Structure 1
Amino acid sequence: MLPKKWWQFLILTGLILGLVVTALVGLAATLIYPELPSLEALTDYKPKVPMRVYSEDGQLIGEFGEERRAFISIDAVPKKLKEAILAAEDERFYQHGGVDTLGILRAAISNVTSGSFKEGASTITMQVARNFFLSSEKTATRKLSEALLSIKIEHSLTKDQILELYINQIYLGQRSYGFAAASQVYYGKPLDQLSIAEVAMLAGLPKAPSRYNPFANPKRAEARQRYVLRRMKDLHFIEEKQYLAALEEPHRFRKSRKIRDLSADYVAEIVRQAMYERYKDDIYSSGLKIYTTIRQSNQEAANRAVLQGIIDYDRRHGYRGPEKMVKPGVAPDNGSNWLDSALDDTEEFQGMIPAVVTQASAKTVSVYTKNGANIDINGDGLAAIQKLLSEKDPAKHVIKPGAVIRIMRQGEAWHIVQLPQVESGLVAVDPENGAVRALVGGFDFNRNKFNHVTQAWRQPGSSFKPFIYSASLEKGFTPASMIEDEPISISARETGSGSAWEPKNYDRKYDGPMRMRTALTKSKNMVSIRILEGIGVNYAQDYITRFGFSPKDHPPYLAMALGSGSVTAWQMAGAYSVFANGGYRVKPYIIAKIVDSRGKVLEQSKPQLAGRDAPRVIDGRNAFIMTSMLQDVVRIGTATKARQLGRSDLAGKTGTTNNQIDAWFAGFNPKQVAIVWMGFDKPKSLGNVETGGKAALPIWIDYMSSALRGIPDVPLEAPTGVTPVLIDPATGRRATGEHSMVEYFYHEFPPPDAEETPSLIPGFPIPGHGQPIPTEKQDNTPPRADQLF
């Protein structure tokens, strides 16, 4: 029977439509449900966790992967974060079955009454379904699939398992996935150290990560945070007092957008290359943890030392002028002001902030920085450009409005600086096992990724002489051997190169006959050449392989005595370790262990230890005598600046190549070997006075002052077979009396008696050969990335 009244007709129509819709939905569900994806991705959850690189003491150095992600179990998630998420996204999460019908009704009423249709009813379970399996398209079929999949998830997983997936998988901006990663990205600390205000900020991100990104949109982010806090209060997750305190809490976001605890980009890249050779693209998603041998205190000291050394060099050579000039007041077409536009394509490096000059006088320069600050620079901050500011000719006033320059905070004041053109590298090694404790490959990795420690093959200059001297000790030379310091001329016929060779001492001074110890202390080129001539270039070329050098990089010519071959700072660190540890070859390595995402150690380094299983490559007596002579380089020779460290156990050698193209200092004590190089990528002179002692040694001193702090002096002790003898310093012969001095000798190579007259090189009589040192066959090629542990 048909209804007789209109309202009865409406009710009947509604019931019929409802039955039809229900039937259709049921039919659709029947068709769709069997086609829903397997939940294996959830039940066997394997997030794409990036590879992370750490220092020995657990400081994050770098991470590599498309996604920033860090897995955290639900048991470790702070209660306040859970509550903030529920308040922001799904307050009835623990009551509904995947689809919140009450929430849908509430959202529908809100949308109808407000007319805005902005209120949603997506549950956390539905978001998990969407993130793992579905697209973001807004169609009826996709929404129905999402609802059905949510119900399926709820039947297969517990609520805590679902929430754990959500907390670890959700995208939160800045390439960060999951709240643990976002906590590090935005605040630089783990979740359990976040305040209520901070968890509310993070909990507000899932709704729209870009819109509410506190870095990009701080006002919108704060408004969203306040909404979450209000919801937390309304749901009684926090009290009124906590709510008000959170509203007043100032924002303290991570200052640097780089996700790391320790700046060691060159180290991180070495590791990335090594791991890529092993595991290929899997490294970007498998969650490997690589622990290096780097120590935070050493690396930070190396960072400071190299940066300051480069700045000091740059300051000595004057200001080159602004990076570019822009026309003041001319706004671009994109609507930004002229100041911001002038700095758009200029990046900050090593704290050197781009800035554009707005006003300039002889006493003050006003600038607008890339981060939007207006700063006045005066006093010592103008030291680099004082001459330019004093120019009376207006045409020479290059520091004027529109000049794009660099400023840097040094102490309490701002200084005008410039990006350097020179480069430098430092590597520090533990000579007892080869562990690399610090490595700086250049001024700034983001500006120049070329690693000047492992990739730069440069001439070592005089820093190579100790290896020639070491070879001569095995041929019967002694520190007291008298050798002529006079000019040498080798004809074109003898050189075989078509031109004569007339090497010079650096200072162009020649002192006649001198002891070998004195020659090394003063870095006399003529003496080094005569020593090499005396022992033979082929013997020396073979001998240096004991230190890890390859013969092919050091051709058998007399110029080898002056360091004309090619080395890397990495090689030099291993070579000088032989002197530092008493004669053992330990290979520098930088990877300590590889750990998988579950904490299982996949590989562990097994370094050879000096005095145990490392091969002995030179006589312990040789290492002692060489160290003794190299200590004199620091005590009275070309590296006396290092005496300011107040230690008696320092040894080393300066190195400067022809025309001051490369500057080196290689130095050590028994606990640390550090090698410093400075030069230009495109070789050119550093300047007439820029020797190893001027350019490289100060960096070494700066580093060692920190690296050796708290480590007591280690006295040099003579091994068995070394005989101390009193000699005459003027002749090198045995002597007695107040003018004599102690020198060290192999017991089989004593000094001549007072009445004997020793010959001079050339024609030096070789009293005999030292006993050959049993060595293992050495691999003299530079380290490949996969040989770094």
Structure 2
Amino acid sequence: MKLIFLLMLGGAVSLVLVAYFLYRYIEPKLPDIEVLRDARYQTPMSIYSRDGLLMAQYGEKKRTPVSVSEVPQKVVQAFLAAEDNRFFDHPGVDYQGLLRATFSFLRTGKKKQGGSTITMQVARNFFLSSEKTFFRKLKEIVLAIKIESELTKQQILELYLNKIYFGHHAYGVVAATQVYYGKGINELELDEIATIAGLPKAPSAFNPITNPQRATIRRNYVLKRMRKLGYIDDHTYQELINRPVTAKLHTTPVELYAPYVAELIRNEMYRQYGEAAYTTGFRVYTTIDARLQSAAEKALRLALHEYDERHGYRGAKQRIDLKKEKRSEDWDKHLSKIAKVGETVPGLVLAIKDTSAEIYLGNQQHVELDWNGLKWARKYINANAQGHQPRSAREILKAGDLVRLRKDGNDRWKLSQIPEVEGALVALDPVSGAVVALGGGYDFRLSKFNRATQAQRQPGSGFKPILYATALTHGYTPASVVNDAPVTFSDPSQAGGFWRPQNYSGRFYGPTRLRVALAKSRNLVSIRLLQSVGIKKTIDMATRFGFQPGELPRSLPLALGSGTATPLRMGQAYAVFANGGFRVEPYFIERIETDTTIFRATPQIACANCTESDDRRKNFAPRTLSPQVHYMMNSMLQEVVRTGTATRAMALGRHDVAGKTGTTNEYKDAWFNGYVPSLTAIAWVGFDSSKSLGKGETGGKTALPMWMHFMREALNDVPEQTFPLPSGLTVARMDPSTGLLALPGSSNAIFEVFPSERAPRNYAAPPVSQLPASEFGEDDTQLASPKPPPIRATPERPIESLF
């Protein structure tokens, strides 16, 4: 007996010594528990509009950390019942549970019971791998004991609830409630709580979406444990175990569709932070305005459909045999394989009448497509040719055609197709450079290429205002006359070895004032103006607008916009005209937050009234144009809208709209670059392959409608703004044919603005028929008389009323 006692004592001592030495061996190799006091959960990056609407989330692990004090008591009780009911009693290791698990394993040879406590699971999830070895288990036990000695039970429970994996990329209890039920943690029913609490043991095996039967068994086990522990009564238990499992997959709802912006931000965040961008829980607030972004997406798609429909219907791409497939279930199967793209949805033609068709949209939804929704569909031949105007629906559709429909502006269905043409629209605050809306293409799912920021296209006549601003800076005025006449240049790259530029109309108009030349987009005037001003000065000016030297050719075609620019670059350039003459830098990110704000944008602001002595001058944008040149250019760009190539913009009913159309050779690019003082917007339309849009598809016809669709919404309730006449300018009533002062009573007189030192001083001669015979002599050069004081704007008669 004594021998047995000594053997048992020796064995116990040996076990203690072995445990001690194992502890001394393992303990120094263990990580520092202090890191748990500042635990960093792998949380996805969320991107928001400036008004707080979610635009996108990036990161494999869905997680929303929560304080344990915010977790409802029933949720805590469910997890304790499922995982560790003695959590608040043991020191990190439940020796009773370990012994039960050990005896079960020795008896059956199978691991049926788990011995891990919540604390041990925290140790494993934060510090250890998932390998199943004896040595890892020892480290887990030692770590659990250390964690319990340094953290409170509440801290440990909080770590657990935020770290544990629940399946479907959901980490943490809050993410699980969203993924499986689309609810907040305080909105869950008790049976839903039990379902979620049952997941950590085996998220794939007990998943309520992929395996609802096993999920039900596991849920009922958790409820049974809750009843046994006194957390719920028997009546509640009996009611809950008979409920069906109602979980289904819920993705985080995107509240604002802006995929091109979201991808732009994602790429920039990855460039700055690497993989940590997807796990650090960054909340990125962009400069995007939700209302304007929605308007931009809608305007872009509508303009592309308008262009597409002008050029004809390309026909159905797929057909099914309605004699063989007669059931709606068959039709649904085909339609389910065709994705909704842009504004279009798939449909199946079931029957055709003379001027209408019955279309099946799936899920038992039938619509009648009337003639107003069909009559546009002339057959597409090429960009310059379409078939005859259809006379009946049978010329357009056949029963069995799989087609696409979209809603028109009156919410009526219309036959449609996915446009092959592409476009971009970008809008920015000209004062700060904040990009408030951006559309990079028809549909991000079709093409992730962002045409607003990546498409280097020829700006065409949209570049001319930069040239004209250079000319005004170097002594020209809006009334300066340049000859619009044929000109020929030697150019071996052209047919015949010569370049003979022409105006869009093919005509030449002779001596033309710069105001008229810009409004009518006269090419020959622009070329002669560039010859006069010089390529170097023009490129220097363009770089002050934001263009890069590599984007600009050092040759005369520069005058016609033969360089390259993205729509965003054009937005930066035209912001100079919109903000009073300052160069601002476009930006997209307003601030970045984690637990605190780690970045906040501090853009340089356009400030017309700021002085060099202002203490905040470093935050002000550099001036590109003098106030005088800016004022003259703004009035000339308004002339483009009033009398030039963008007159349809007058339909907006505003007097502060200004801008410039742009059309490139062979109609490959169509632009409208426009603004009001509070908003700059650029619209571009073209093919990615740079093929022709078709004869007559100019900036004013193709791109301007997109700009107007957007601005009509963007400027709703926005008051008109004007620029005050700066000192150093004079407004004179002049004779347009001579550039001299107009005689009183002249019927063709116009008002023009001049630098005061260059304003006309003499009257134009009256027509010869109006002169008395006694005034004719040998020298008629003295007919002009001294100039009276110039006409000036007053508060009662603002300058805009003079033009």
Same fold (TM over 0.5): yes
Q: Which moved more, 1:88-97 or 1:516-525?
A: 88-97
Deviations 1:528-582 (A, max 9, x none): 3333333333432333222122344222333222211111112111111111111
Matches of 1:467 and 1:662, distance apart in 2: 19
Match of 2:374 in 1: 383
Q: In the alignment, is residue 82 of structure 1 matched against residue 76 of structure 2?
A: yes
Match of 2:419 in 1: 420
Q: Which moved more, 1:632-641 or 1:679-688?
A: 632-641
Q: Shift in Å at residue 665 of structure 1? A: 1.1
* Equivalences for residues 640-659 of structure 1 within 5 A: 640-659=647-666
Q: Shift in Å at residue 149 of structure 1? A: 5.2
* Equivalences for residues 52-67 of structure 1 within 5 A: 52-67=46-61
Match of 2:538 in 1: 540
* Equivalences for residues 213-612 of structure 1 within 5 A: 257=251, 260-324=254-318, 348-350=340-342, 352-353=344-345, 355=346, 357=348, 359=350, 361-362=352-353, 363-368=357-362, 373-380=363-370, 383=374, 400=400, 403=402, 405-406=403-404, 417-486=416-485, 488-492=486-490, 499-595=497-593, 597-602=594-599, 604-611=601-608, 612=610
* Equivalences for residues 9-24 of structure 1 within 5 A: none
Matches of 2:376 and 2:104, distance apart in 1: 65
Q: CA 1:146–1:358 in structure 2 vs 1: closer, same or farther (change >3 Å)?
A: farther
Q: Shift in Å at residue 718 of structure 1? A: 1.1
Structure-2-length-normalised TM-score? 0.76
Q: In the alignment, is residue 46 of structure 1 matched against residue 44 of structure 2?
A: no
What SS class does the counterpart of residue 718 from structure 1 fall into? coil
Letter in 1 for 2:267: Q
Q: Shift in Å at residue 248 of structure 1? A: 9.3
Matches of 2:321 and 2:10, distance apart in 1: 71
Q: Shift in Å at residue 434 of structure 1? A: 1.4
Deviations 1:140-194 (A, max 9, x none): 7766765665455444432211221122112233323223444555666764666
Letter in 2 for 1:647: R
Q: CA 1:104–1:419 in structure 2 vs 1: closer, same or farther (change >3 Å)?
A: farther
Structure-1-length-normalised TM-score? 0.78
Contact 1:483 1:530 in 2 (8 A): yes
Deviations 1:274-333 (A, max 9, x none): 3333333333333344333223233232222223323333333333344556789999xx
- The structure 1 residue matched to 2:762, chosen from 749, 753, 769, is 753
Contact 1:591 1:605 in 2 (8 A): no
Deviations 1:36-60 (A, max 9, x none): 7446354452222334433333333
Q: Shift in Å at residue 349 of structure 1? A: 4.0
Q: Shift in Å at residue 661 of structure 1? A: 1.0
Q: Shift in Å at residue 233 of structure 1? A: 8.1
Match of 2:154 in 1: 160
Matches of 1:714 and 1:96, distance apart in 2: 72
Q: Shift in Å at residue 70 of structure 1? A: 3.2
What SS class does the counterpart of residue 374 from structure 2 fall into? helix
Letter in 2 for 1:685: S
Q: Shift in Å at residue 241 of structure 1? A: 9.4
Q: In the alignment, is residue 718 of structure 1 matched against residue 708 of structure 2?
A: no
Contact 1:180 1:190 in 2 (8 A): yes
Matches of 1:33 and 1:109, distance apart in 2: 24
Q: In the alignment, is residue 691 of structure 1 matched against residue 681 of structure 2?
A: no
What SS class does the counterpart of residue 61 from structure 1 fall into? strand
Q: Shift in Å at residue 506 of structure 1? A: 2.3
Match of 1:637 in 2: 644
What SS class does the counterpart of residue 69 from structure 1 fall into? coil
Deviations 1:449-505 (A, max 9, x none): 22212211101112111112212222333222344444x241436999962223332
Contact 2:440 2:451 in 1 (8 A): yes
Contact 2:321 2:400 in 1 (8 A): no
Q: CA 1:494–1:156 in structure 2 vs 1: closer, same or farther (change >3 Å)?
A: closer
Structure 2: which 5+ runs fail to align? 380-388, 611-619, 767-803
Match of 2:773 in 1: none
Match of 1:786 in 2: none
Letter in 1 for 2:650: R
Match of 2:782 in 1: none
Contact 1:482 1:731 in 2 (8 A): no
Matches of 1:632 and 1:175, distance apart in 2: 58
What SS class does the counterpart of residue 68 from structure 1 fall into? coil
Matches of 2:500 and 2:189, distance apart in 1: 73
Matches of 2:214 and 2:695, distance apart in 1: 58
Letter in 2 for 1:720: S
Q: CA 1:326–1:81 in structure 2 vs 1: closer, same or farther (change >3 Å)?
A: farther
Matches of 1:268 and 1:648, distance apart in 2: 35
Q: Shift in Å at residue 599 of structure 1? A: 1.2
Matches of 2:322 and 2:665, distance apart in 1: 46
Q: Shift in Å at residue 726 of structure 1? A: 0.7
Q: CA 1:286–1:713 in structure 2 vs 1: closer, same or farther (change >3 Å)?
A: same
Q: Shift in Å at residue 352 of structure 1? A: 4.5
Matches of 2:213 and 2:651, distance apart in 1: 53
Q: Shift in Å at residue 122 of structure 1? A: 5.5
Q: Shift in Å at residue 666 of structure 1? A: 0.9
Contact 1:586 1:610 in 2 (8 A): no
Q: In the alignment, is residue 179 of structure 1 matched against residue 159 of structure 2?
A: no
What SS class does the counterpart of residue 623 from structure 1 fall into? helix
Deviations 1:206-255 (A, max 9, x none): 35444666666678778877887887788776898999899999979787
Letter in 2 for 1:437: V
What SS class does the counterpart of residue 499 from structure 2 fall into? coil
What SS class does the counterpart of residue 438 from structure 2 fall into? strand
What SS class does the counterpart of residue 472 from structure 1 fall into? helix
Matches of 1:619 and 1:170, distance apart in 2: 62
Calculate percent identity across the aligned residue pairs. 43
Contact 1:462 1:523 in 2 (8 A): yes
* Equivalences for residues 192-211 of structure 1 within 5 A: 202-203=196-197, 205-210=199-204
Letter in 1 for 2:71: V
What SS class does the counterpart of residue 288 from structure 2 fall into? coil
Q: CA 1:539–1:604 in structure 2 vs 1: closer, same or farther (change >3 Å)?
A: closer
Identify which of structures 1 and 2 has the higher relative contact order when contacts are C-alpha pairs closer than 8 Å and 6+ apart.
1
Matches of 2:374 and 2:112, distance apart in 1: 59
Question: Cα RMSD over matched residues?
Answer: 4.8
Matches of 1:359 and 1:104, distance apart in 2: 68
Q: CA 1:227–1:108 in structure 2 vs 1: closer, same or farther (change >3 Å)?
A: same
Q: Shift in Å at residue 414 of structure 1? A: 6.1
